[in-house]
Amino acid sequence: MSLSAKKGTVYIVDDDEAVRDSLQWLLEGQDYRVRCFESAEGFLSRYDPREVACLVVDIRMNGMTGLELQDRLIERQSPLPIVFITGHGDVPMAVEAMKKGALDFVQKPFNEDDLTALVERMLDHAQETFEQYQQAANRDALIAKLTSREAQVLERIVAGRLNKQIADDLNISIKTVEKHRQNLMDKLRIHDTASLTRYAISSGVIDNMVQTLLPL
């Protein structure tokens, strides 16, 4: 189901109450759901990574700065799209933040229409990322449904063994190996061996598989 950008959440983190109030008034007036925090620490204690959301944060704040908050989110592998609010002298810092993955920055005083459009773009991005995470979660659930034989075949595919070698390892026919391989791709909704291998490695499905299978 497609989720409208206006049904996402906009987090605002700024230690200036006037800025928080102004942004909240602007965005709620456009029917966005808004949650405000006066500190990065307060935001981190309440942020729900399962939400379709974006973050508007001041680059300079007392306590943890916006850049430090970005680093914390990177450490948590958070997909939250970020836009920084900057003063004139902070542009180099904002550029550095974008190199780390921030989507954009806006300078004070900001144009209301530009900021609203940027928030909409961020929430569109957040929705796409959320859907990708959901697909990954669905695949993880499917992994749990693999038969023990399919798991054995998957381990050997990831280790780079050929169909004949897998057949010899498991004392089954090459035709049976091919059937298991096709079942794996169908269950995981993956269409080629390279993607199957990348997914198995990146998802951590196979633990220490290469070391285990090298003697074979």
Predicted local distance difference test score (pLDDT) of residue 5: 39
Q: Which of 80, 104, 133 is a domain's end point?
A: 133
Work out the pLDDT band at 35, boundaries 50, 70, 90: very high
What are phi and psi for residue 39, nearest 5 degrees? -145, 155
Predicted local distance difference test score (pLDDT) of residue 58: 93
pLDDT of 44 over the 80 cut: yes
Q: In what order do the strands lie in the sheet with 104-107?
A: 33-37, 9-13, 53-58, 82-86, 104-107
139, part of any domain: no
Q: Is the peptide bond before 109 cis (omega within 30 degrees of 0)?
A: yes
- 80 shares its domain with 18: yes
- 9 shares its domain with 46: yes
- Convert 163-178 into a string of H (helix), E (strand) and C (coil): HHHHHHHHCCCHHHHH
- Supply the angle between the helices 66-75 and 91-99 in degrees, to the nearest 10: 10
- 49 shares its domain with 119: yes
CATH number at residue 129: 3.40.50.2300
Total structural domains in the chain? Answer: 2
19, part of any domain: yes
Range of the domain at 150: 145-213
- 113 shares its domain with 150: no
- 46 shares its domain with 73: yes
- The predicted-structure confidence for 91-109, as pLDDT tens digits, reads as follows 788 888 888 888 888 888 8
- 105 shares its domain with 167: no
pLDDT of 214 over the 70 cut: no
Terminal-to-terminal C-alpha distance of the chain = 46
Predicted local distance difference test score (pLDDT) of residue 208: 38
Predicted local distance difference test score (pLDDT) of residue 134: 72
- 55 shares its domain with 12: yes
Average pLDDT of span 50-79: 90
- The predicted-structure confidence for 131-188, as pLDDT tens digits, reads as follows 777 776 666 676 777 888 998 999 899 888 999 999 999 999 999 999 999 998 888 7
Query: pTM for the whole thing?
Result: 0.61
Burial of 131 (0-12, 13-18, 19+ CB in 10 A): middle
Tokens of 195: 């993607």
CATH number at residue 188: 1.10.10.10
140, part of any domain: no
